[in-house]
Chain A
Amino acid sequence: MKYILMMNTMRAGHGVPEWPQKDLRTHIAFMMSLNKELRESGELVSAEGLSFPEQARLVRAGKNGAPVTDGVFPESKEFLAGYWIVDVDSAERAYAIAAKASAAPGPGGAPLNMPIEVRPIMSGPPLEML
C-alpha cells in the first residue's frame, strides 16, 4: 500500500532560513539519512522538497482560460514543505515513518514534532467479492 506523507510547516518568513548553521546542518543531515534509510528498506517511492512560500503562486483561469497569478496569502497557516511517497506493508508502518520525520531536529537540535499528514494513495479496485 502506498501512502503520501505531507510535511506541513513554516509560515512565510519564519522557520528554517533563520536557524543557526549548526542546527541547519543537523536538520539537513537528518532528512538525507531518512531518505537513505527508506531507499534501503525498499519502501521509498519518491521524496520531494518544495520551494519556500516566496516562490509559490496561486493560479486561476481568467477570461479565455488565461492564467491569472497571485501570491500566496500571507495569512496562510501552513505550507506544504515537502512530501514522501512510501510503499509499505501497513498503515502503522506509514505512521511510524511519519513520526520519525515529524521529530526532525530543529533549533538547538530539539525535535520539531511537525504535523505530518498521512493519506493513502488511491489504487485500482480490489478483487471482486462474490
Chain B
Amino acid sequence: MTKPWDTTSEHLLRELAPQVLGAVARRFRDFSAAEDAVQEALIAAFIQWPKEGIPDNSRGWLIQVASRRMTDQMRSEIARRERETAVAAETENLTSILEIEADMDPDDTLILLFMCCHPALTPSSAIALTLRAVGGLTTAEIANAFLVPEATMAQRISRAKQTIKTSGTPFRLPSPQERAERLPAVLHVLYLIFSEGYASSIGSHLQRFDLAREAIRLTRNTKTLLPDNAEVAGLLALMLLTDARRAARTGPDEELIPLDKQDRSLWDRLEISEGIELLTVALGKGSIGLYQLQAAIAAVHDEAGRAEDTDWPQILALYELLKRVSPGPMVTLNHAIAAAMVHGSAQGLQLLRALDSDPRLASHYRLDAVRAHLLEKTGDYEAAIKHYRVAAARTTSIPERNYLMTQAARLAGE
C-alpha cells in the first residue's frame, strides 16, 4: 500500500529525517555513520517515492534503508579487517524495524539538535550539520543555499562530524544544567540560519533554497520539544514578526525599502498575529531574554498602522532593557536610533559618539549609515552625504550599498 506523492510529501520526509536518524544512531551507536546512512536513505526516498508512491510505514521504510546501509558498511569494514567470524554476531544487530522503532525516544530530535550545535564547531559547520541532520535537507540543497559547491559542503559536514566524534559526546540528552548552558548556542545557530535566509531572499539569489522558512520550521519543532522555554518561543516570534515584512522589504527593482517607507498592507497579518500571540505567552513566563525583547521590538513596529504611529517611547524602553540583558555595540547603536526618535536627532548623535572608540564598530558601515540618517534629519546635508558615502564603501551588501549611494545622491541633488 502506498499513497501518492504530493506537495506535502517533501515536508513529511524532512520531518521524518531526524526521527529516523535518532533511531538509527541509537541502534548502531555511531552518530556519524548513521547520519551518512540516513542521508542516503533520504536521497533514495526523494528518487523513489515520487515515482512509486509513499510507503504506508514511511518511517519504517527509511529506517530499513538506512539500517541496511549501516550493516553493509559494517560488513565491509569487518571484511576489511579480516574478522569474518564476527560478521554473524554483528549482523544480528539488524533485527526487525519494529524493534528499532520501539526503541525510539521523543527526545531524539532534541539530542540531535544539541549534538549539531556542539560548542566545538564553528558557526558555519554547526549550521550545515543542523540543516542536514535535523532539517533533513540534502547536501545539494544546503550547498545551493550557501552558493558553494556540493563537494565543499560535503567536506564541511564530514569535518563537523569528525569534530563531534573526537569530542566523544555520547548520544544522549545533556543534563538539565548543561542543556540550559548550551541552549543559547542552539538558538544562535537557528537565528543564523534565519538571517542567512533573510539576507539571500532578494536579488539574484531568488533561486536559492528558502533558509528563512527552514529556520522557522526548525524553530517551530524546537518549540514543540521545549514547550516551556520562553526564549525558544521568543526566537520563533522574532522570526515570524520579521518574516511578516518580507514582501514589503524590496521594490520592483529589488531595491531595499526601509521600514518607514514600506507598504504595510503587504505585511503578513497571519505571521504577525501568531508572533504576537507566542510573545505574549512567553513574556508571561517571567524569564525575559534577548530574543523575547527583540521580538517585542519587532511587534511594536508591526502593530503600527503607519510609520508615524510607531510607539517609539516603548521601543526605547525595550532597548534600555536589551542593553542590560545583552549589551553590545549593535544594541547601543539601535538604542541611539530609538532615542533620536523620542528625544530628537541631536541626542541620538550624542549617543553615537560613545561608539566611535569601540573597535568592534569603529569601521562598521552601520555606524556611518545611522549617523548619516540622523545628520540628514538635523539638516546637516553635507555631513550626511559624507557619511552615507563612507557607509556605502564599507558595507558588504550590494542592495545596501545601492540604497546608501542613492541616499547620498538624493541629498546631493537637493
Which residues in A have some Cβ–Cβ distance to B below 8 Å? 1-2, 39-46, 87, 89, 120-130
Contacts and interface: CB of A to CB of B under 8 A. Distances in A.
A42 B199 contact: no
Nearest to B366: A129
B145 to A, nearest CB: 12
Contacts of B317: none
A45 B147 contact: yes
A43 B195 CA distance: 20
A44 B202 contact: no
A42 B150 CA distance: 10
Contacts of A45: 147-149, 152
A128 B200 contact: no
B146 interface: yes
B371 interface: no
Nearest to B160: A42
Interface SS majority for chain B:
helix
A124 B330 CA distance: 19
Contacts of B400: 125-126
Contact of A124 (B148, B151, B294, B397): B397
24 contacts: A39-B152, A40-B155, A41-B159, A42-B152, A42-B153, A42-B157, A42-B159, A44-B149, A44-B152, A45-B147, A46-B149, A87-B146, A89-B122, A123-B396, A123-B397, A123-B398, A124-B200, A124-B397, A125-B199, A125-B256, A125-B400, A128-B242, A130-B301, A130-B334
Nearest to B159: A42
Interface SS majority for chain A:
loop
B205 A39 contact: no
B199 A124 contact: yes
B159 A127 contact: no
Given A40-B155, A129-B333, 19 more contacts: A2-B147, A39-B151, A41-B156, A42-B125, A42-B128, A42-B157, A44-B149, A44-B152, A45-B152, A121-B396, A122-B398, A123-B397, A124-B202, A124-B398, A125-B256, A126-B397, A128-B249, A130-B297, A130-B315
| Most chain B CB neighbours (cut-off 10 Å) among A43, A87, A121, A125 | A125
Nearest to B259: A128
A43 B152 contact: yes
B199 A126 contact: yes
Given A1-B396, A123-B396, A130-B298, A39 B199 contact: no
